């Protein structure tokens, strides 16, 4: 049985973490499947939007499977520098295609880190979140110490990171960790609905928007605004931009070609 259930329909790819018996924790086998998916995600033109979720109704992902991921015998330097081991299970989760996280139940440690690597996050009312690594004598390893303060602000981020405490869906919505809280039965229909609305838009424009937002976060405002201008110029004469205007004039849905 695969550790990831992957389906693609109408340009929307749903990736379901499929270890419900282990709270969808990430073992070495799932990690390798994730790496393979990241490669496919970037190169498969039939995929315009990605949704991550978890199998079952108890957990989205509870991070690394501690029963199967004990520290390796090799030194960290040997793995990182000598063998080029990527490290985090989310290494390589980079694409200009939008990624939605649909959290059903517990999103702990790596589960919250996966959420932070995505672009849009929604959750079910029974969801819980936590970066609990300090309670296990370590630190978040998937980028959360940098992404979380950029997402929700320093004080709320430090409260989560330093205490290792869990928060519920209501608090996650308050601090901006998620955009929507819905009943569990409505989670995937809501996520798929968002994904389809995104996929219905001009694909080059959608990918440009994500690139600009992600890159702009690390730039001074004046530099980010200059990049916006360059991207506008790149898109200005594309067939899709002309099609968008013609379709509006003719009062019909546009037919995007991605060029």
Tens-place pLDDT, residues 129-151: 999 999 989 898 888 999 999 99
Q: How high is the pLDDT of residue 80?
A: 64
> From the candidates 9, 29, 78, 113, which is the catalytic residue?
113
CATH of the domain spanning 203-250: 1.10.12
Task: Specify the CATH number for 4-199; select among 3.90.226.10, 2.40.50.100, 2.60.120.10, 3.80.10.10.
Answer: 3.90.226.10
Among this protein's residues, is 171 annotated catalytic?
A: no
> From the candidates 9, 74, 133, 186, which is the catalytic residue?
133
Among this protein's residues, is 39 annotated catalytic?
A: no
Tens-place pLDDT, residues 86-131: 567 888 899 999 999 999 999 999 999 999 999 999 999 999 999 9
| Tokens found for residue 225 | 């605004």
Extents of the domains making up the chain = 4-199, 203-250
């Amino acid at each position: 049985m695969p550790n990831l259930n992957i389906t693609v329909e109408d340009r929307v790819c749903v990736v379901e973490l499929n270890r419900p018996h282990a709270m969808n924790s990430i073992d070495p086998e799932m990690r390798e499947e994730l790496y393979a998916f990241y490669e496919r995600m970037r190169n498969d033109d039939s995929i315009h939007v990605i949704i991550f979720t978890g199998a079952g109704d108890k957990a989205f992902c509870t991070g690394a499977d501690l029963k199967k991921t004990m520290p390796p015998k090799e030194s960290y330097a040997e793995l990182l520098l000598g063998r080029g081991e990527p490290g985090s299970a989310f290494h390589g989760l980079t694409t200009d295609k939008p990624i939605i996280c649909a959290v059903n139940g517990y999103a702990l440690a790596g589960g919250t880190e996966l959420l932070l690597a995505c672009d849009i996050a929604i959750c079910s009312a029974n969801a819980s979140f936590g970066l609990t690594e300090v309670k296990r004598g370590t630190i978040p390893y998937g980028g959360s110490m940098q992404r979380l303060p950029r997402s929700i602000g320093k004080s709320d981020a430090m409260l989560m990171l330093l205490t290792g405490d869990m928060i519920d869906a209501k608090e996650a919505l308050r601090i901006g960790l998620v955009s929507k809280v819905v009943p569990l039965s409505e989670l995937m229909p809501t996520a798929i609905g968002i994904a389809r609305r995104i996929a219905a838009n001009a694909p080059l424009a959608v990918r440009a928007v994500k690139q600009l937002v992600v890159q702009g976060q690390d730039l001074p405002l004046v530099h980010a605004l200059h990049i916006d201008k360059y991207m506008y110029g790149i898109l200005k004469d594309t067939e899709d931009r002309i099609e968008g205007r013609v379709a509006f004039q003719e009062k019909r849905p546009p037919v995007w070609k991605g060029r």
